Copies of this chain bind each other. A is one copy, B any other.
Amino acid sequence: MLDPRKRPRQDRSKATVAAILEAAVELFTEMGFAKTTTNRIAERAGVSIGSLYQYYPNKNALLVMLLEQHILHAGPVIEEAIKKLTQTDRDLEQRIRGLFEQVVALHDMAPDIHRMLFEEVPKPPSIQELSLQSEKRMAKLTEEVLREVVGEERPNLDMTAIVLVQTSEALAHWLAIRAPDSLERERFIDESAKMMVRYIGVI
């Protein structure tokens, strides 16, 4: 389940490993995780099944790798954007909207794989832990920003941060899944930002 396999040393094998992961992404999104066989992944990658198992100990490892990549990529992007919230001079609504648009953009990058990763697969504990950590960091950052924006005296800033993080995540998710036309999309983003701004309160 977790035993580490051979690591690719030469360029040739690095390409193999990459091709396998790419093929896995394609097939997972096309047919879902359960219906994708490792043999097909190898076939699609133009590689023998033996090579696959030389670098990935089992089917689940491919999934874990994908999830890790996703979390490890998305986390820092959002965290950067949150930090920049206090460093601009537009009004709060514009800034919140901008931040939310970044969250949306992340979901939009690959809505299929995103849906698959988050709706179709039992997440292994190690991944659950990872995304929990990521959520916590984002909430913490949000809380700090809030402290600067609304001041110390407001109570429950920690919960406020959690509510905001979860809300924006969920709304961006909805947008990626439902994929409405651009007009509805704009209106949805408007309303989402409006809700968060009014909640935060200080105009």
* Residue among B32, B159, B194, B195 making CB contact with A191, cutoff 8 Å: B159
A152 to B163, CA, bound (A): 29
* Residue among B32, B159, B192 making CB contact with A163, cutoff 8 Å: B192
Say yes or no: is A5 at the interface (Cβ < 8 Å to chain B): no
Identical subunits present: 2
A119 to B115, CA, bound (A): 10
Say yes or no: is A198 at the interface (Cβ < 8 Å to chain B): yes
Q: Are B187 and A159 in contact (CB under 8 A)?
A: yes
Interface secondary structure of A, over-half rule: helix
A window 145-160: CB within 8 A of B:
156, 159-160
- Beyond A120-B122, A122-B120, A198-B201, whether A188 also contacts B174 by CB under 8 A is no
Say yes or no: is A94 at the interface (Cβ < 8 Å to chain B): no
Say yes or no: is A130 at the interface (Cβ < 8 Å to chain B): no
Q: Are B156 and A191 in contact (CB under 8 A)?
A: yes
A191 to B165, CA, bound (A): 13
Q: Are B184 and A167 in contact (CB under 8 A)?
A: no
Interface string of A20-47 (1 = CB under 8 A from B): 0000000000001110000000000000
**Closest B residue by C-beta to A118:** B119
Most buried by B among A122, A184, A201: A122
Interface string of A47-81 (1 = CB under 8 A from B): 00000000000000000000000000000000000
Contacts A159-B184, A166-B170, A198-B198 supplied; 6 other A-B pairs, CB < 8 Å: A159-B187, A162-B188, A163-B192, A167-B170, A170-B173, A195-B196
The 3 closest A-B pairs by CB, nearest first: A170-B170, A195-B199, A198-B198
Task: Enumerate chain A interface residues (CB-CB to B < 8 A).
Answer: 32-34, 118-123, 156, 159-160, 162-163, 166-167, 169-171, 173-174, 184, 187-188, 190-192, 194-196, 198-199, 201
